[in-house]
Structure 1
Amino acid sequence: MAEINRDDVAHLAQLAHIDMSEAELDRMAGELAVIVDSVKSVSEAAGADVPATSHPIPLRNVLREDVVGHVLSQAEALSGAPDAEDGRFKVPAILEEG
Structure 2
Amino acid sequence: MKAFTSKTHSAIIYDKKCGHSGRTIAKNLGCNILFKNPISAFTIRRTLKKVGLSARIPHHKLAMTEAYCQIRLEWARVHEKWITRQ
| TM score, norm. by length of structure 1 | 0.25
In terms of fraction of residues, the more helix-rich structure is: 2
Computing the radius of gyration from Cα coordinates, the structure with the larger value is 1
The structure where strand makes up a greater share of residues is 1
TM-score normalised by structure 2 residue count = 0.27
